[in-house]
Amino acid sequence: MRIGELSRATGVAVPTIKYYVREGLLPAGRLTSPNQARYDDGHVRRLRLIRGLMDVGGLSVAAVREVLAAVDSPQEPVHKVLGAAQLAITPPPAVTPDGMEAARGKVAEIIRRRGWRVGGDNPAVETLAVALATFEGIGHGEFEEVVDDYAAACERVAEADLAWVGRNAEVDGLVESVVVGTVLGDAVLTAMRRLAHVDASARRYEQGDGGPAGATGTP
Amino acid sequence: MRIGELSRATGVAVPTIKYYVREGLLPAGRLTSPNQARYDDGHVRRLRLIRGLMDVGGLSVAAVREVLAAVDSPQEPVHKVLGAAQLAITPPPAVTPDGMEAARGKVAEIIRRRGWRVGGDNPAVETLAVALATFEGIGHGEFEEVVDDYAAACERVAEADLAWVGRNAEVDGLVESVVVGTVLGDAVLTAMRRLAHVDASARRYEQGDGGPAGATGTP
């Protein structure tokens, strides 16, 4: 198809498509004349992936380039590929609030308690420490009381994610599944957490007020 | 304390503090002379909250202003306050990919299946639909197989969050707890999901290779 058809198929404007080609996010089309290139279904899919990572995942052009580099360069073994893809989409935190030493100790203790096989150099370790130090710094250190609930919930999600990635590996490529599932999965998880909050709040504070029959245990 | 001391106590530069005052994020200090103002511990705490929302939560100055307005204006009843605070920190999605009608139907079905008491006008409903439509558009529609695992995990987190907020209500104000817990809790949840991924991947693909004794069931 021509670039105009690619634009109509994906809803991405022609100048934006050209920009992605210049930035190395999208492979150039196949030249059929000096001024004309042809694109195929692979371009449609790649464009949708780029927009999904940006619009839903909130990734920058630079981050999308990193992620696509991981998608396009699978290596062995599987566990290392997953690690590389994860690193590309998990920037280290930009700040170091007060109390980081204590917070890092708490994260190490959580990892030990859960029995997680995680290297201390994983950027998510530092991100988690920054979040806990921030809770502490603004007087909400008692958030620690619920971290094990968070951890158990994440274990369940991770198990489901890995099972999904494993099933999906033959279809579209393992690394792309990991990247897509991680970035878009974050969006799903935070959106669902909002909805579950509304429901939990309704159950806790609105008992018997407008809920579905049976939800409150009264006839 | 003077503004220089406030800066040292929080690590926020003096011009930045003045900017936050101008932008209405931070109350002005108490004037002790035409050129000098005094700040107190309330300013320290508020500054840390602002930085936490920006640096950990990734909120813009405008979003922080919205959130602080909710924090500073509690109303009754509790469930409505929680809803208002949540709306302020949950912007509607900026895009509408193809397939939104089908995706909205799937979200409605998930909400019905989980028995969640959630209004269809909640912005997280639309955010979730955008994420599912994006999965579908890039050929990963089978992600739906795991949405109930995500939902169950979020129910657990929401229960823990509400219990924490309930315990914390007397200490620092219910709305601030909700806002802080929601924004920073997202960061905790996504960071922990990364760590749980590494662990699940190690268990699945590295059985017996470098794991802790007992993790693989072999001596």
Q: Give the DSSP per-residue string, A138-204.
A: TT-GGGGGGHHHHHHHHHHHHHHHHHHHHHHHHHH-HHHHHHHHHHHHHHHHHHHHHHHHHHHHHHH
Closest partner residue to B196 among A157, A197, A204, by Cβ?
A157
Residues of A within 8 A of B55 (CB-CB) are 93-95, 97, 130, 134
Token pair of A143 as six digits: 């958030």
Residue A18 falls within a domain, yes or no?
yes
The CA distance from A211 to the nearest CA of chain B, in Å, is 7
Residue A41 falls within a domain, yes or no?
yes
Residues of B within 8 A of A97 (CB-CB) are 11, 48, 51-52, 55
* Interface contact flag, B78 A187, Cβ < 8 Å: no
pLDDT confidence of residue A84 = 65
Per run of 10 residues, the mean pLDDT along chain A (length 219 residues) is: 94 94 94 92 89 80 81 64 68 78 95 91 89 86 89 92 74 66 86 88 66 36
Instruction: Write down which residue in A56, A77, A103 finishes a domain.
Output: A56
- Report d(CA B215, CA A117) in Å as an integer: 10
* Interface contact flag, A56 B134, Cβ < 8 Å: yes
- Report d(CA A116, CA B198) in Å as an integer: 8
The CA distance from A209 to the nearest CA of chain B, in Å, is 11
Residue A7 falls within a domain, yes or no?
yes
* Interface contact flag, B140 A172, Cβ < 8 Å: yes
* Interface contact flag, B187 A138, Cβ < 8 Å: no
* Percent over 90 (pLDDT), chain B: 34
* Interface contact flag, B51 A152, Cβ < 8 Å: no
Residue of B nearest to A152 (CA): B153
Domain identity same for A40 and A121 = no
pLDDT for residue B81 is more than 70: no
Closest partner residue to B194 among A90, A94, A166, by Cβ?
A90
**Number of domain units in chain A:** 2
Domain identity same for A20 and A83 = no
Domain identity same for A175 and A87 = yes
- Report d(CA B41, CA B46) in Å as an integer: 9
Calculate the CA A114 to chain-centre distance. Answer: 22
Residues of B within 8 A of A125 (CB-CB) are 191, 195
Domain identity same for A68 and A41 = no
Domain identity same for A90 and A108 = yes
Closest partner residue to A146 among B56, B117, B161, by Cβ?
B161
* Amino acid sitting at position B3: I
Closest partner residue to A127 among B83, B130, B187, by Cβ?
B187
Residues of B within 8 A of A78 (CB-CB) are 201, 205
Residue of B nearest to A43 (CA): B138
- Report d(CA B167, CA A109) in Å as an integer: 24
- Between residues B100 and A138, the one the model is more confident about: B100
Domain identity same for A50 and A115 = no
* Interface contact flag, A201 B55, Cβ < 8 Å: no
Residue A211 falls within a domain, yes or no?
no
Average pLDDT over residues B101-112: 95
Domain that holds residue B99: 57-205
Domain identity same for A16 and A88 = no
Give the pLDDT band of residue B211 (cuts 50, 70, 90): very low
Give B179-201 pLDDT, tens digit per residue.
778 888 888 898 899 899 888 88
Residues of B within 8 A of A160 (CB-CB) are 146, 149-150
Exposed/middle/buried for residue A84 (C-beta within 10 Å: 0-12, 13-18, 19+): middle
Domain identity same for A180 and A76 = yes
Give B135-181 pLDDT, tens digit per residue.
888 878 888 889 999 999 999 999 998 888 777 665 446 667 777 78
Domain identity same for A41 and A65 = no
Token pair of A166 as six digits: 């494993």
- How does DSSP assign A65-86, residue by residue? HHHHHHHH---SSHHHHHHHHH
Closest partner residue to A79 among B52, B180, B206, by Cβ?
B206
pLDDT confidence of residue B104 = 94
pLDDT for residue B215 is more than 60: no
Residue B108 falls within a domain, yes or no?
yes
Residue B142 falls within a domain, yes or no?
yes
Domain identity same for A95 and A153 = yes
Domain identity same for A3 and A110 = no
- Count A/B contacts: CB-CB distance under 8 Å: 342
Instruction: Write down which residue in A9, A36, A56 finishes a domain.
Output: A56
Tell me the pLDDT of chain B averaged across its residues. Answer: 82
Average pLDDT over residues B210-217: 38
Residue A215 falls within a domain, yes or no?
no
* Close Cβ partners of A168 (under 8 Å, ≥ 6 residues apart): A174, A177, B140, B142
Give B18-56 pLDDT, tens digit per residue.
999 999 999 999 999 988 999 999 999 899 888 888 887
DSSP, res A36: E
Query: Quick check: B193 and A158 in contact, CB under 8 A?
Result: yes
- Report d(CA B88, CA B208) in Å as an integer: 48
Residues of A within 8 A of B114 (CB-CB) are 199
Closest partner residue to B189 among A150, A155, A164, by Cβ?
A150
Domain identity same for A47 and A70 = no
pLDDT confidence of residue B45 = 86
The CA distance from B48 to the nearest CA of chain A, in Å, is 6
Residue B194 falls within a domain, yes or no?
yes
The CA distance from A32 to the nearest CA of chain B, in Å, is 27
Closest partner residue to A131 among B90, B98, B191, by Cβ?
B191
* Close Cβ partners of A33 (under 8 Å, ≥ 6 residues apart): none
pLDDT confidence of residue B64 = 85
